[in-house]
Amino acid sequence: MNRNNTIDRFRGIVIFSMIIFQFMANFAGLGGASTISHHAPDADAYYMLPNLAVADIVAPMFILAIGLTYLPSLRRRIERDGKKTAIIHFVKRNLMIIGIGVVMNGINDILDGHMEGFLNLSFVIPTALVLVLSIVILVLKAVKLKKISAPLGKFLSWFVAAFGVYGVGVALVNAVLLVAGKTGDSFGHWLVLHHIGFAGLVALPFALIKGKYENIIRLAGGFALLGLFGLFHSGDLPNDMFANNRDLVDCVADGGFIGGFAWGAMLIIYLAFSDIYMKNKKVFFGAVAGYGVLTAALVAGIIMTLPEGAGWIGANSTFMAINKPSVSPSFVIVTVFISLLAFTITELFSFYKLSFDPFMWWGKNPILMYCLEFGLVGGITVAGESFFKEASAPVAIVIVAAMAVLLTAIAYICNKKKIIIKI
C-alpha cells in the first residue's frame, strides 16, 4: 500500500510545530512568539476559545495523525499475520510507546538528580539499562554483527514494552490512591507518549470491529466512553483530598490513568472518521461538517455560560467547561473538530506534489523526530539555557531557524535513504 502524502504532511506539520514552538519557548528575546507553546490557563498563552490555548490542540492533532493510519495498519497486519499475532503486535507497540515515555521521564529524573527512594530508582535503573542496551545494539549494527544485535534488539523491544506495563501500573496505583483519599499528589510519570500509547490500547477493541455499521458503533462507543468519563469528571468523591473530581484528574499531568480513557475515547472517534476518509472523501467532508455544527452549538453554550466579565484566560463556564489538564469532555469534543478541520484543510492541498515537501519528510518519521527533539534539542536547550534567555531577537531567530533547517535536513536524508523508524 502506497503512503498517503496528506497524512504524512499533516503529521509533519504537527510534529514540526510541537518541536519548534517548544524550542522557541527558551528565547525570551522573541517576546510573545516565545509563549506560543504555553498551555491554558497560562496568562501568556494564545487563546482560541475560553480556557483553550493554541498549544492545547497539538496533542489531539497528533492523536488524529495516529488514528488516520491505525485501522489500515491493523488490517494489513491481520491479513498478513493473522488476527492473534496482529493484536499482540498492537498491544506491544502501544506499550512500547508508553515505555519510551517512561524512559524519557527516567532520563529527566537522572538529569534532575531525582534518584532517591524506591519509586525514583525503579524508573532510573531500567532507564539506564535501556540506554546502555541501545548503545550496544547501535555499535553491533555498525560493525555488522547482526546475529548478536538482532536478538538483543528483540529483547530490548520487549523490555521497553514491559517498562510500559510498569508505567501503567504505577499510574493505576496513583489513581487508586487519589480516589481513595490516601494521597493528593501525582507520582509524576505520565506525559504525552503515555496517553498516546494508553489511548491506543483503549481503542484497540473498537478497531477490530467489522461490518456495515462499524463506524456508527465506533462513534457510539467513543461518545459512550467519553460520557462515562464525563460523569466521573463532573462528580465529587466524598473521601478524597480534592474539591471535585475535575481537580482530582487535573492533579496528574494530562489526566493520568483516569484521563487516559478520555484520550482513548478521542482516538475511537478518530477511528470512525479516518475509516470514512479512507472509503469516501466526500462523505468524510460531510461528516466533518455535521460534527462541526454540533461542536458550534457546544461552544456557543460554553461562551454564553461564562461568568460575567470573565475573559478567556482560565475561564470556566458553568456548562461543560473546556479544560485540557483534566481532559474534560468538552475539551475532547472541541479539539476533535479542530483537528479534523485542520486535516481537511491539509487534504484540500493534496494536489501539491512537488519534490520539495519538507512537512512530508517530517511526517514519515514522527518517532525519530520526537526522540531527536528530546535528545538533540533538549540537550542543546540545557547546555545553552542561560545564553538563550539573554539572546536578542535577531540572534534567537537565527538559532531557531538553524535548528529548523538542521532537523529538516535530517528528515530529508531519512526520506532520501528510505529510513523510517517504526515501532
Angle at 39 between CA 392 and CA 181, to 5 degrees: 135
Share of the chain above pLDDT 90, in %: 76
For residue 421, the model assigns a pLDDT of: 81
Cβ atoms of residues 240 and 178 within 8 Å = yes
CA dist., res. 336 & res. 262, Å (int)? 12
Per-residue pLDDT reduced to its tens digit, 248-298:
999 998 899 999 999 999 999 999 999 999 999 999 999 999 999 999 999
CA dist., res. 344 & res. 56, Å (int)? 19
For residue 1, the model assigns a pLDDT of: 52
Q: Cell 506525559, residue?
A: 191
Structural domain ending residue among the three candidates 315, 335, 352: 352
Tell me how many domains the chain contains.
Answer: 2
Low-confidence winner among 92-101, 280-289, 381-390 (lowest mean pLDDT)? 381-390
Same domain (yes/no): 274, 412: no
pLDDT interval class at 2 (50, 70, 90): low
Closest CA to 369 of 7, 1, 2, 13: 13
Same domain (yes/no): 3, 120: no
Angle at 273 between CA 271 and CA 274, to 5 degrees: 65
Q: Is the pTM of this model over 0.85?
A: yes
Per-residue pLDDT reduced to its tens digit, 303-314:
999 888 778 888
**pLDDT tops 80 at residue 189:** no
CB atoms within 10 A of CB 260: 28
Helix (H) and strand (E) counts for the chain?
A: 16, 2
The per-residue b/e assignment along 5-22, b for 16 or more CB within 10 angstroms, e otherwise, is bbbbbbbbbbbbbbbbbb
Same domain (yes/no): 43, 3: no
Closest CA to 232 of 220, 213, 219, 248: 248
Same domain (yes/no): 265, 287: yes
Q: Which domain does 404 fall in, by range? A: 1-37+353-423
Same domain (yes/no): 283, 404: no
Q: Which three cell numbers stand for residue 167?
A: 508505567
Structural domain ending residue among the three candidates 317, 352, 387: 352
Q: What mean pLDDT do residues 5-30 have? A: 92
Structural domain ending residue among the three candidates 300, 326, 352: 352
Same domain (yes/no): 377, 255: no
Closest CA to 120 of 135, 133, 107, 101: 107
Same domain (yes/no): 381, 340: no
Same domain (yes/no): 321, 361: no
Q: What mean pLDDT do residues 385-407 have? A: 94
Same domain (yes/no): 337, 359: no
Q: What mean pLDDT do residues 101-130 have? A: 88
Same domain (yes/no): 229, 326: yes
For residue 411, the model assigns a pLDDT of: 94
Per-residue pLDDT reduced to its tens digit, 39-87:
998 999 999 999 999 999 999 999 999 999 999 999 999 999 999 999 9
For residue 53, the model assigns a pLDDT of: 95
What does pLDDT average to over the chain? 92
CA dist., res. 348 & res. 364, Å (int)? 20
Q: Determine the length of the chain.
A: 423
Q: Cell 510500559, residue?
A: 164
Same domain (yes/no): 348, 366: no
pLDDT interval class at 192 (50, 70, 90): confident
For residue 217, the model assigns a pLDDT of: 98
Same domain (yes/no): 177, 81: yes
